[in-house]
Amino acid sequence: MSDPIEFEEEEFDTQFNGQTLRRILGLTKPHWPYLVGFVVLIAGAAFLDSYFTYLSKLIIDDGIVARDRAALTHTLTIYGSLIVVQALTVFGFIYFTGILGERIRYDLRKQLFAHLQRLSLSYYNRTPVGWIMSRVTSDTDKLAELVTWGILDTSWGFFNILTAIYFMVIIDWRLALIVSVVIPAIVVVAIQFKKKIIVEYRHVRKINSKITGGYNETITGVRVIKSLGRERENLEGFGELTGDMYRAGYRAAWFSALFLPAVQLISALAVGAVIWYSGWQITSVNIAGTTLSIGGIQAFITYVTFMLWPIQEMARVYAEMQQAIAAGERIFSLLEAEPEIQDRADATDPGTLRGDIEFDDVTFYYEADSPVLTDFSLKVRQGETIALVGPTGGGKSTIVNLICRFFEPKRGTIRIGGMDYTHMTQHAIQSRVGIVLQTPHLFSGTVRENIRYGRLDATDAEVLEAARIVGADEFITNLSKGYDEQVGEGGSLLSVGQKQLISLARAVLANPDIFIMDEATSSVDTLTEVLIQQGMDVLMEGRTSFVIAHRLSTIRNADRILVIDNGEIAEMGSHAELLRAQGHYYRLYTQQFRRELEKEYSPFGEAASPPEAVFATA
């Protein structure tokens, strides 16, 4: 049963989140040598960029204007040598940045995937697949880009500005002071724009999750969509989502686009101030009694214009940082999600689940005001086969989900072998429970790999024996590549019956202590059902088994049949006992299984006698 709580996208504060940024930057900590390496090399490359401009001043003033060939040759030699050094530093920091980015992506996705494995089933019941996929794919990319190329561009810009100011002070400290005034102005502009940009990018990331979920549902449900002719309606709904994302993205791009011209305008004012002040110095003697040289003026203008590119790059990185923070907030919210089911500190592995299973006044609900089970009690003996029948939503699936400890009782106790199962580790329980579902799920790979999925150390002979036991060996050997045949994504290359037989073989091979069959024969033909039933009989022998029933053949031989209605046991007994009682089970039987009964007792598909006559002899 699915958790009925509707998922709501988590809302985040619209203010700049420095804590989130620190956590994002903290992703580099395990790989600090790469970070330090490329920052040091960037600092060296930025220094050389500014030094080249200073060398150009020397070439003009000491070489060309002074007509000193020796000084010109000397300066050009230094210039040419440093070009080679700069090329090596650029190669180094790009290499370190690339390696750091891949390592961060690897760590982050591995951490997310590992965390997703620990989360309880309830998390997946209420969280859309698209939301999770967006976190693991596009959001991790944005974080990796920020902490690698974003840091690279920001560091390069910072060191370029710093070294440019340093050389400007050497040339003329008064003029350098004038240029330095633009930096606080740019900071003020950034503060004003960042508030607006981050709001829009948060909205973009939120809508992106919904779009990813829409893609997932459309692709997985394509057969239903086409059979019902829902293409046009789905396109209209999807168009509304993409339209919302376009408008949010447009607003974010609008503010980002305004950011750069504002920075350029302030920088252009600084260039104008340099030109005006330089012209004034050329035509007059300054306070120190010297005039600014032609090479000095040229170097100053170059430094100011040279600062424009780093400032623009830092502005671009800043805009992208807003996206990364919005993505980081959602990634960290996923990583901070706590599993609802957690092992106790003293939890142990008893080594087996063989023993009686007891529900002692168990109450369970997904929402507090809508209980599914209320004070539910049941004792199942070791090796007993229990069939669960009843109306949809009555609590059948909840019972088996509690046994598997996918959920835990809100009140009451479940004991296995006399031991409260919360004192056992989740792995101890779930690794010893075999489940065959109504809709079998196979994983991309071969038939052999899917059968071996629950027991990787099984030999090929054991895989073949498991398939033979459930009657799957015949169809598998008729496949073009036999057990090495690819099953396709989700088993799409096989029929439902074939997938069911493989999933049953997988359960046989895992050799579970408890076996659960959830409507496993409801979607297969009669011949395949016979094969599945034969496999079930072998698998249930000597094991405690629970069968959520749909067809007559899966429940007639059960030790006990429980009619579950509104979270309570409405009736309990063997097949024959419940038919004679003519209560809930009798009515369900006549309503749901009449057609199967008629076919069973008549070779022509018509009832040989009224159902009541059959019940009397059952």
SS (H, E, C) 257-308: HHHHHHHHHHHHHHHHHHHHHHHHHHCCCCCCCCCCCHHHHHHHHHHHHHHH
- In this structure, is residue 470 part of a structural domain? no
In a domain, 331, yes or no: yes
Instruction: Of 45, 150, 25, give the one whose Cα is nearest residue 93.
Output: 45
State the residue range of the domain holding 587.
Answer: 575-618
Q: How many angstroms separate the CA atoms of 526 and 159, rounded?
A: 75
**Number of domains into which the chain is organized:** 2
Instruction: Give, in order, the Cα–Cα distances in Å from 14 to each of 17, 197, 254, 325, 329.
Output: 8, 10, 18, 11, 11
pLDDT in tens, 193-236: 766 776 777 677 677 767 776 766 777 676 666 656 677 777 77
At 481 the pLDDT is 92
pLDDT digits (tens, 9 = 90+) for 321-356: 777 887 888 888 888 888 888 898 999 999 889 999
DSSP per-residue letters across 293-361 = -HHHHHHHHHHHHHHHHHHHHHHHHHHHHHHHHHHHHHHHHHHTPPPSS---TT-B--S---S-EEEEE
Res 617: pLDDT: 38
Q: Which residue has the higher pLDDT, 561 or 12?
A: 561
173-196 pLDDT, tens digit each:
777 777 777 767 766 776 667 667
Please state, in angstroms and rounded to a whole number, the distance separating the CA atoms of residues 226 and 231: 7
pLDDT tens-place string over residues 590-617: 776 555 545 554 544 444 444 444 444 3
224 is a domain residue? yes
Domain end among 314, 335, 356: 335
Least confident of 198-202, 239-243, 479-483, 563-567: 198-202
Q: Is residue 405 in some structural domain? A: no
Q: What is the CATH number of the domain that holds 101?
A: 1.20.1560.10
408 within domain boundaries: no
* Domain end (from 308, 335, 362): 335
Instruction: Indicate whether 145 belongs to any domain.
Output: yes
Q: Show which of 335, 352, 377 is a domain's final residue.
A: 335
Instruction: Summarize the confidence of residues 554-558 as an average pLDDT.
Output: 78
| Digit-coded pLDDT (tens) for 500-542 | 889 888 888 888 899 888 876 666 666 766 777 776 777 777 8
pLDDT tens string 350-397: 988 999 999 999 999 988 888 899 999 999 999 999 999 888 788 888
Q: Which of 54, 53, 52, 72 is nearest to 62 (CA)?
A: 72
* Residue 464 included in any domain: no
Q: What is residue 384's predicted lDDT score, i.e. its pLDDT?
A: 92
424, part of any domain: no
pLDDT at residue 67 greater than cutoff 90: no
Partners of residue 414 on adjacent β-strands: 359
3 state SS for 395-424: CHHHHHHHHCCCCCCCEEEEEECCEEHHHE
Higher-confidence residue of 450 and 201: namely 450
